[in-house]
Structure 1
Amino acid sequence: MITTMTARGRFLITGSARGEVLFSHTGLSFWGGVDGASGDIIDHHHPLHGRSLAGKALAIPSGRGSCTGSSVLLELILNGHGPAALLLSQADDILALGVLVARQLFARDLPVIALDQDTFGKLAGCLRVDIGDDRLRAFCQDGQCCLDVPLTRPETGLFVLSGEDCAMLAGDQGESVRQAMEIVVYMARLQQAAGLISVSQVHIDGCIYTGSASLAFARQWLDWGARVRVPTTLNAVSVDCRRWRELDIDPAEGEPASQLAQAYLQLGATGSFTCAPYLLSGAPRAGEHIAWSESNAVAFANSVLAARTQKYPDFLDLCIALTGRAPLCGPHLDASRRAEVQIDVPLPAEADDSLYPLLGHMAGELSPNHIPVICGLEHSGMSRDDLKAFSAAFATTSAAPMFHIAGVTPEATVPADALGGRPPLRHYRLTPADLLSAWQTLNTAVDSGVQLVALGNPHLSLTEYARLAQLCRDGERHPDVALVLTSGREVHRQAEQAGYVATLEAFGARCINDTCWCMLRRPVVPAHADTLMTNSGKYAHYAPGLVDCRVHFASLADCIAAARQGYADISPPRWLMPPADALGGTADDMVHGAANGTAKASTDGAITGTTGGSQTDV
């Protein structure tokens, strides 16, 4: 037996379990990355793609991507296809919250454990684990115990509650408020927050229907007589609530999804139904403390608006709306908004708007758990729509709640502002060859065929509607290509008043509200479609797993050109093609020049850096 005396681990959620180890150095988004019915890993970009996590001790550094991961994990736990345990190298609020809700509301759970980084890495060589009340034992192929890790209980520490907080926790304001406050306080203690803070508004992501568990969750709060106490908006839901029957959605999906949306309206939320709440008139101001879910919205609120919110998991968003109180930690605090990774990027001449989601996707991969500052875009003229696209792609590949772009976002006039005057933990310098390789990663199509052009992930802005109307004027789409646009109701209403919708519908576009591409399935995605085209880095990442389609990723103008002509140009855009001698020999190898060394993709997809001969994770 080998006992690691220096190994450290702590329960985020207590419990006992045993199971085969399923290990990766790459974080995993449960939403869009895991099938909520089976536990199969469907993220085509993940090293574990095609494997099942059901019954396994899943060892990943953390989650990433969508806040809806907590909802998918709850579904898996309740339908019997969840992991036996979650073993992490960093505490993950989204995953912990899914398990906490399973325990508190449904009396089902599993252990969630955060290990020190060295111990976590050693799990890569382990076959199975046995988790008890106070330790984790891991066993190798020969059956010998190769790790023996003592586990501490979830930390409580010093925690200050106001008189009203205590009253809510004691049940003085009803059962729903008591239950919600228990969850808020548990998560605050888990995050080692000093206390709670009042928020001015909440954006709820938990209204997405992921299965029967998400509906059961909402109905439980209605049974308790719950009602939100701060202004609360709703994220895009799983169907166009007013027209899902017209779209031939299966009633087995449409009915419960509509019921879930209605339940949140009964709880007092506003029927905004958009994944881009920053486009609404009530968008928060700089310094305003809010509680938003939806990964792209969180990144945009913190980074572009300079509002303050954590990346709140589904279900915790409702608990905060019911109490008006949130954990005082993370991006609510100045110290937690500083960048720790610097990424220098080239600004190609005459680049089109696909540059920004491409860079966002790359930045998230290079900085999966730390806030980055991106340098080199000071003279890019990035628009709000460009920042929206960057935010969504970044939040797809990173668990970090925000980013900075030097000379563009408000808290990064210069890189030193974002870094707080400290040197970065990691410093990457991207090359044109890196951009080309990343473009090739997102473009999974093998020929020029296109059966669907999918736009509006995140939801379209009014300025995007205007540009689309201009691109689609005087012509019509090719009969073999569906052109489908998604947006929130309010922006769609404005686009109708401006005449943009009429122009787009005359071209042959179909406009859908309330839902967006991460929720849409067939038949909105045509039954015959095996290749789609999009300008969204987020959807280019998720679509292969969600709808089993290959992807052309390109600019908005190129997407409309494909809708007109019936095919796409499969070659990279000219601005992305570096000189032959800049490719370093292999355009397919994603090689990043790091400070005093290099950084490259490891065999299971984790980005690592080499400095002075030693290799460490970003």
Structure 2
Amino acid sequence: MPGSISLTGRSLVAGAAEGALLFADVGLSFWGGVDPYSGEIIDRHHPLSGEYLAGRVLAIPSGRGSCTGSSVLMELISNGHAPAALVLAEPDEILTLGVLVAQTIFERSLPVLCIGREAFAALRGKAFARVEDTTLSLFEHLPGDAWQALDSPLPSTDIGTAIALTEHDRALLDGQHGKAAQVAMQIVLRMAELQGARHLVDVTQAHIDGCIYTGPASLRFAQQLVQWGATVRVPTTLNSISVDQRRWRELGIDPALGEPASALGDAYMAMGAQLSFTCAPYLLDSAPKVGEQIVWAESNAVVYANSVLGARTLKYPDYLDICIALTGRAPLIGCHLDAQRKARLQIELPALGELDDAFYPLLGYHIGALAGSRIPLVHGLENRQPSLDDLKAFGAAFATTSAAPLFHIAGVTPEALDPTQVLEVDESIPVKKIRLIDLLVSWRELNSARDNRVDVVSLGNPHFSLSEFAHLARLCLGRHKHPDVVLAITCGRAVLEQAREAGHIAVIEAFGATLVTDTCWCMLGEPVIPLAAKTLMTNSGKYAHYAPGLVGRKVHFASLKECVDAACNATASGRLPTWLQPAALLESPAHV
């Protein structure tokens, strides 16, 4: 028909659907970016903020951010608030996996089509879209023919034969090791085929992100596996859950959340996972070594494992993580392979003054947005010696805005101590130069609050380390927080006990801080955040990004020292760090 365009692409999940087109040229993290109960886009930094997904064809370049996006999409499919279809510029494993699990557990689906970056640009300005397997039809106006939901059969879940299987793989697939392992192997192989893998690889350990409660569907999935006799085959740790399992009643959490969230953690432990409940498994004694093949989910943990520890994992979606833990087998693809760990973008930093700890999360946030899905190599920190806490903060913020599972920092991270080792020989890699004024723009994006008052100081996203507790204790010694300010720290149980034994916790509790284990700030809300609280302060780039959408509060982002000072004064200073002040002087009056 006149005004229509037809494009073809690769069907990641087959099916047919049509609806009003919701287009953005910025990736979207479904977790933290989409309300799993209503389908509203709640990422307040995203161009589609405030839009609703239900019944619309969502076109985004890819997902980004959290591995829990698969759980949110599965929840939306289950409760009827999902988009009619997904159209992507490049394949996205997290979102695709959410659809595949919904097929398996709920027998509900939606089509997912990947059309490539060049074709994706043609979607801008179009009003309606129809997806039919590999074909995308675009319309500037409502088509004249009937516009209605398309009745398409549930896509086939048959497993192909393109992947080389061992006898043990076939035994799992044939159900010889039980129903849970069989279904898990089916899901692993479907994802492996979509990824183009030809072989599987043994993994030595797993970290499960699917223990985060996103709604009834997430609990039903885990309990179904338990009913099918699921038992993990490799040592398995659990990510932060949605409540402090030991203290959620004491903290005033509504049982409507506390009970199912706690039950979800119990379900994964019933499968044989360890009671770890931390989003920073690299702080545990079980942290993997260089070259170790693992399956980790939780975006910050994936990035840290690959980049700082030199272990090997993909950015595994929720639910694929437990499927691999139940089989011990993962697709041999992506960052499991040497060739896929090379840099695809070089970043050059400007001259820098004396840095504080706010620099690294800000830089990670900014570089993640520049990199997209490309693995970056960062130049300019060779003589800075960032600490492991600095790299943790960098990686968490990087994983918030990027889809890449790995970064390299020249002269710092293990594979880039000699940066030529992460560059392809005779291949031209794009170079982007960052200016201080660029970092100032990202600083202002993270600092969304306009009122200098501070009601809550949130620390520990990702979970606090022992060295961070030591630093905080030094800042708190002999001081006490303002009575109207809540200062709360989230951490893993193991690190809390280490910090208590070292004497740090007594100082911090004397300051007036609240300690919360098992859960993290991305899952915390009221009443830990008081109902009357309007403004938060954090030293986490990750939480500064997500908090406005997750808890509806504006945020001050600054260093740990500034956070402690604000806790004492109930006021944010609003000062730029000294290393960023030259950028403010470079601004023209029109930008001030």
Do they superpose with TM above 0.5?
yes
Would the alpha carbon gap of residues 422 and 469 (structure 1) be closer, same or farther in structure 2, given more than 3 Å must change?
farther
Could you say which residue in structure 1 is the equivalent of 2:419?
415
Residue 130 of structure 1: how far off its partner (Å): 1.9
Matched, 1:98 2:102: no
Could you say which residue in structure 2 is the equivalent of 1:113?
113
Would the alpha carbon gap of residues 133 and 364 (structure 1) be closer, same or farther in structure 2, given more than 3 Å must change?
closer
Q: What is the alpha-carbon distance in structure 1 between the residues aligned to residue 584 and residue 326 of structure 2?
A: 58
Matched, 1:31 2:31: yes
Matched, 1:539 2:546: no
Partner of 2:124, secondary structure, is: helix
Residue 120 of structure 1: how far off its partner (Å): 1.5
Q: CA RMSD in A?
A: 1.9
Q: What are the superposed Cα offsets for residues 284-329 of structure 1, whole Å, 9 maximum, x if unpaired?
A: 0000000000000000000000000000000000000100000000
Q: What are the superposed Cα offsets for residues 55-90 of structure 1, whole Å, 9 maximum, x if unpaired?
A: 110000100000000000011000000000000011
1:370-381 correspondence to structure 2 within 5 Å = 370-381=374-385
1:150-229 correspondence to structure 2 within 5 Å = 158-229=162-233
Q: What is the alpha-carbon distance in structure 2 between the residues aligned to residue 582 and residue 71 of structure 1?
A: 44
Residue 138 of structure 1: how far off its partner (Å): 1.7
1:234-245 correspondence to structure 2 within 5 Å = 234-245=238-249
Would the alpha carbon gap of residues 133 and 89 (structure 1) be closer, same or farther in structure 2, given more than 3 Å must change?
closer
1:63-142 correspondence to structure 2 within 5 Å = 63-133=63-133, 135-141=135-141
Could you say which residue in structure 1 is the equivalent of 2:17?
17
Would the alpha carbon gap of residues 7 and 567 (structure 1) be closer, same or farther in structure 2, given more than 3 Å must change?
same
Please tell me whether the aligned partners of residues 340 and 424 of structure 1 are also in contact (alpha carbons under 8 angstroms): no
1:441-520 correspondence to structure 2 within 5 Å = 441-520=445-524
Q: What are the superposed Cα offsets for residues 311-360 of structure 1, whole Å, 9 maximum, x if unpaired?
A: 00000000001000000001000111011111111252112110000000
Q: What is the alpha-carbon distance in structure 1 between the residues aligned to residue 533 and residue 319 of structure 2?
A: 34
Residue 136 of structure 1: how far off its partner (Å): 2.5
Please tell me whether the aligned partners of residues 197 and 327 of structure 1 are also in contact (alpha carbons under 8 angstroms): yes
Q: What is the alpha-carbon distance in structure 2 between the residues aligned to residue 107 and residue 449 of structure 1?
A: 49
Partner of 1:11, secondary structure, is: strand
Please tell me whether the aligned partners of residues 353 and 578 of structure 2 are also in contact (alpha carbons under 8 angstroms): no
Could you say which residue in structure 2 is the equivalent of 1:602?
none
Equivalent in 267, 283, 289 of residue 285 of structure 1: 289
Would the alpha carbon gap of residues 580 and 259 (structure 1) be closer, same or farther in structure 2, given more than 3 Å must change?
closer
Would the alpha carbon gap of residues 247 and 422 (structure 1) be closer, same or farther in structure 2, given more than 3 Å must change?
farther
Equivalent in 339, 342, 357 of residue 335 of structure 1: 339
Please tell me whether the aligned partners of residues 57 and 84 of structure 1 are also in contact (alpha carbons under 8 angstroms): yes
Could you say which residue in structure 2 is the equivalent of 1:263?
267
Partner of 1:87, secondary structure, is: strand
Q: What are the superposed Cα offsets for residues 225-266 of structure 1, whole Å, 9 maximum, x if unpaired?
A: 111110000000000000000100001110000000111111
Equivalent in 370, 384, 387 of residue 388 of structure 2: 384
Please tell me whether the aligned partners of residues 437 and 587 of structure 1 are also in contact (alpha carbons under 8 angstroms): no
Residue 381 of structure 1: how far off its partner (Å): 1.7
Amino acid paired to 2:128:
R
Please tell me whether the aligned partners of residues 27 and 62 of structure 1 are also in contact (alpha carbons under 8 angstroms): yes
Q: What is the alpha-carbon distance in structure 1 between the residues aligned to residue 590 and residue 236 of structure 2?
A: 50
Would the alpha carbon gap of residues 114 and 201 (structure 1) be closer, same or farther in structure 2, given more than 3 Å must change?
same
Q: What is the alpha-carbon distance in structure 2 between the residues aligned to residue 226 and residue 244 of structure 1?
A: 27
Consecutive unaligned residues of structure 2, counting only runs of 5 or more, are 146-154
Would the alpha carbon gap of residues 229 and 443 (structure 1) be closer, same or farther in structure 2, given more than 3 Å must change?
same
Please tell me whether the aligned partners of residues 342 and 424 of structure 1 are also in contact (alpha carbons under 8 angstroms): no
Please tell me whether the aligned partners of residues 70 and 94 of structure 1 are also in contact (alpha carbons under 8 angstroms): yes
Residue 420 of structure 1: how far off its partner (Å): 2.5
Report sequence identity in percent. Answer: 56
Please tell me whether the aligned partners of residues 156 and 192 of structure 1 are also in contact (alpha carbons under 8 angstroms): no
Residue 407 of structure 1: how far off its partner (Å): 0.8
Please tell me whether the aligned partners of residues 167 and 173 of structure 1 are also in contact (alpha carbons under 8 angstroms): yes
Partner of 1:307, secondary structure, is: coil
Could you say which residue in structure 1 is the equivalent of 2:8?
8
Could you say which residue in structure 2 is the equivalent of 1:399?
403
Amino acid paired to 1:386:
D
Amino acid paired to 2:387:
S
Amino acid paired to 1:11:
S
Q: What is the alpha-carbon distance in structure 1 between the residues aligned to residue 542 and residue 88 of structure 2?
A: 24
Please tell me whether the aligned partners of residues 111 and 133 of structure 2 are also in contact (alpha carbons under 8 angstroms): no
Please tell me whether the aligned partners of residues 7 and 116 of structure 1 are also in contact (alpha carbons under 8 angstroms): no
TM-score, normalized by length of structure 1? 0.91
Please tell me whether the aligned partners of residues 278 and 519 of structure 2 are also in contact (alpha carbons under 8 angstroms): yes
Q: What are the superposed Cα offsets for residues 506-534 of structure 1, whole Å, 9 maximum, x if unpaired?
A: 11000000000000001001111110100
Could you say which residue in structure 1 is the equivalent of 2:316?
312
Amino acid paired to 2:540:
S
Please tell me whether the aligned partners of residues 191 and 329 of structure 1 are also in contact (alpha carbons under 8 angstroms): yes
Amino acid paired to 1:50:
G
Matched, 1:435 2:436: no
Amino acid paired to 2:285:
S
Matched, 1:555 2:555: no
Residue 504 of structure 1: how far off its partner (Å): 0.6
Residue 574 of structure 1: how far off its partner (Å): 2.5
Residue 505 of structure 1: how far off its partner (Å): 0.6
Q: What is the alpha-carbon distance in structure 2 between the residues aligned to residue 424 and residue 454 of structure 1?
A: 43
Residue 156 of structure 1: how far off its partner (Å): 5.8
Q: What is the alpha-carbon distance in structure 2 between the residues aligned to residue 448 and residue 158 of structure 1?
A: 59
Residue 7 of structure 1: how far off its partner (Å): 4.2
Q: What is the alpha-carbon distance in structure 2 between the residues aligned to residue 522 and residue 431 of structure 1?
A: 39
| Residues paired across the two proteins, number | 582
Amino acid paired to 2:309:
L
Please tell me whether the aligned partners of residues 351 and 576 of structure 1 are also in contact (alpha carbons under 8 angstroms): no
Amino acid paired to 2:119:
T
